[in-house]
Amino acid sequence: MLELGMTIDGQSVLGSKTFDVFNPATGELVGRAPNATVDDLNRAVAAAKAAFPAWAALPDAERQALCAGLVKAIEANADEIAHTLTLEQGKPLNGMGSRFELGGAMAWAGHTASLELPVKVLQDNNEGRVELHRKAIGVVGSITPWNWPVMIAIWHIVPALRAGNTVVIKPSPFTPLSTLQVVAAMAATLPAGVLNVVTSDDTLDNIGAAMSSHPDIGKIVFTGSCATGARVMKSAADTMKRLTLELGGNDAGIVLPDCDPEEIAEKLFWGAFINNGQTCAAMKRLYVHDDIHDAVCDALVAYARSVKMGNGLDEASVLGPVANKMQFDKVSELVADAVQSGNVLLGGAPDEGLFFPITLISDLPDDAPLIHEEQFGPALPIIRFTDVEEAIKAANASENGLGGSIWSKDIEKAKALALRLECGTAWINSHGGLNPVAPFGGAKMSGIGREFGEEGLFENTEIQVLHI
């Protein structure tokens, strides 16, 4: 059983109390994490604040090299962290599971470390020179979710550090252990106080709320639900914190009648069910033209039957359980409602423990909750359409706007339709794939700001304009 400490000012801190972390596949105790108090948070923020001036003042090439070294720190501990991640989150070691996540974390860390923060010359003539400089903000607070806890931690931490900020991160209480491990590994390569982690189940003090209102935290990066993101935004208002919020999605995929159902079935499946559907940018609604609706349903069912679901420690498993009881109950409720009014093609009822079989349901009424609410789990509504204009209208009717996709052999037509989707990222003939060079974030209620690439790095800076 794992008992890990927080990292505060370069030291391992156990805290006065702990909380339990369980394996969603078996219900067994995986380990215990420190249950932080506001005093613990204050110490972490104070350490980050004290470390900030020296870290921000480092020559850029030196700070860049230290950030690049984080990849080796992750790599040296990748096997252990992946194993912990599977135990506490449930995702398999193989497939697009824990080892995949650690690989993604290293790829994002490496690319982000390589980015530059050049001075931009806006004017240089006989009237004078105007330069745009990007300067670090200070202490960045990171609050991460339970679905991709290691990779999202890297998405938050590395651009903040690369820009010259220091960091205090709080992981989800469902998956704190892998974050404690990866932060400890990275912090050991950095000056004390530059990177800190506090863990809490918020029963002693509400650490997340304390972070978003903390006067010494200059920016909050939050990934999670729309409702919690709105609370973070309100709490941050009094101190005018900078914010990057990547929130929920209810992504729509639209399949045009020129598609070959057999050719696209595998990509459709993983667009919806990567990480068991527990991904913000997974496909949550699938609109299929009436001409090929039944054939697409048949092809999806056939492919889904070939995907093995089981304990993530089993090397043969490709999908695992729903990650926690809270989410399992939400998926169960939405599916139970859908079963009453739709056509169940596959699944439709909970399995043992927190395992929920892949569920495909067609012919739901337009107002079905499974269509309009983000299920964030292994259930997909398939909606028949005859007019693509109606499909675009339905896709855009959501208050969310994270991602969307168009599926067609006519790429130019698909591109024109994709540009009409009201979302931050659109894909053609795929769904959900992310790239460290491409900015990612949402429209409407799916958040504000962008992560990844230059745009994501720049969000961790303040602009100062120099007139000479």
Residue type, 401: G
Residue 9 to residue 186: CA distance in whole angstroms: 13
Contact 148, 105 (CB under 8 A): no
Contact 446, 425 (CB under 8 A): no
Q: How far apart are CA 458 and CA 115, in angstroms?
A: 10
Tokens of 115: 């980015």
- Using DSSP's 3-state secondary structure scheme, residue 286 falls into strand
Find out whether 322 and 276 touch, Cβ atoms under 8 Å: yes
Q: Annotated catalytic, 280?
A: yes
Element (H, E) at 114: helix 98-114
Residue 234: count of CB within 10 angstroms of its CB = 11
β-pair partners for 380: 360
> CB count, 10 Å around CB of 173?
20
Contact (CB, 8 A) for 368 and 384 = no
What is the rounded distance in angstroms from the CA atom of residue 317 to the CA atom of residue 324?
Answer: 18
Residue type, 156: H
Alpha-carbon distance of 328 to 354, in angstroms, equals 6
* Rounded CA separation 9/51 (Å): 9
User: Which CA distances in Å does 322 have to 75, 344, 355, 377, 443?
Assistant: 27, 20, 6, 7, 27
DSSP string, 236-262: HGGGT-EEEEE----EEEEE-TTS-HH
DSSP-assigned letter for residue 313: T
**CA 115 to CA 82: how far, in whole Å?**
27
β partners of residue 120: 132
Q: How far apart are CA 29 and CA 1, in angstroms?
A: 7
* Candidates 67, 226, 259, 280; catalytic one: 280
The residue behind tokens 């999202």 is 152
SS3 state of residue 438: coil
Catalytic residue among 246, 374, 451, 459: 246
Q: How many CB atoms are located within 10 Å of the residue 225 CB?
A: 15
Q: Is 399 a catalytic residue?
A: no
- The Cα 89–Cα 84 span in angstroms is 8
Q: 411: helix, coil or strand?
A: helix
Residues with catalytic function = 246, 280
